[in-house]
Amino acid sequence: MTLLGLALIVIPFTHIILMKSLRDGIFYIMLLNVAVMINDVAAYFGGVFFGKHKIKFPVSPNKSWEGYSFALFFCVLSTIIFSQFCLIFYGRDIFSLPEAVIAGILISLGAAIGDLVESAAKRDGGIKNSGSIVPGHGGMWDVFDAIIFTMPLFYYYIVFCKDIH
């Protein structure tokens, strides 16, 4: 598990350096962080207020289809809005509408996978929550679990699907 932890943190986070080196890299980094945060909040509130159909993953049994649906919708919406914000206020056309939709979908799916892997790691270690400051919140690790999987995925989407060099 220690080696897996090293691989799951170091390798993905090296992609922030790669992303920063791209033309408009800082905008991509900001978009990724905004989209992941909105995805996480939307999944939580969508699940709490509308979650009736549990997915029943063994590592995270309280997740619901409604939570994932809210996360996907708001992640795509935030990606579109952020892309338009960059175009209007900074003159940077980082994504067209179809590209923003695809990026939002990839970010939401990567965030869900990251959350499930983090939940599996915590269960393997016998930990319910890795933090104690905010009750019910998994601690600082929960802040990064989605970024771990989305950063490489998002970087390679940009590199292979956009003319950025």
Q: What is the pLDDT of residues 89-110, one digit of tens each?
A: 999 999 999 999 999 999 999 9
Residue tagged 């695809």 (tokens): 102
Q: What's the pLDDT score for residue 81?
A: 98
Length of the chain, please? 165
Pick left, alpha or beta for residue 91 (phi over 0 → left; psi -120 to 50 → alpha; otherwise beta). left
How many Å apart are CA 93 and CA 119, to the nearest integer? 36
Question: Does residue 88 carry a pLDDT above 60?
Answer: yes
How many Å apart are CA 160 and CA 158, to the nearest integer? 6
Q: What's the pLDDT score for residue 54?
A: 87
**Which residues touch 133 (CB under 8 Å, ≥6 apart)?**
139
Q: Which of 62-66, 119-123, 144-148 has the highest mean pLDDT?
A: 62-66
Task: Quickly state the pLDDT bin for 125 (edges 50, 70, 90).
Answer: low
Question: Does residue 137 carry a pLDDT above 80?
Answer: no
How far is CA 12 from each of CA 52, 100, 110, 140, rounded to the nearest angstrom?
34, 22, 12, 17
**Which residues touch 84 (CB under 8 Å, ≥6 apart)?**
none
Given a contact cutoff of 8 angstroms between Cβ atoms, the answer to whether 115 and 146 are in contact is: yes
How many Å apart are CA 17 and CA 148, to the nearest integer? 14
Name the more confident of 57 and 63.
63
Task: Quickly state the pLDDT bin for 25 (edges 50, 70, 90).
Answer: very high
Name the more confident of 56 and 153.
153
How many Å apart are CA 163 and CA 94, to the nearest integer? 10
Q: What's the pLDDT score for residue 15?
A: 92
| pTM of the full structure | 0.85
Question: Does residue 163 carry a pLDDT above 70?
Answer: no
How many Å apart are CA 60 and CA 128, to the nearest integer? 10
Q: What's the pLDDT score for residue 99?
A: 95
Question: Does residue 136 carry a pLDDT above 80?
Answer: no
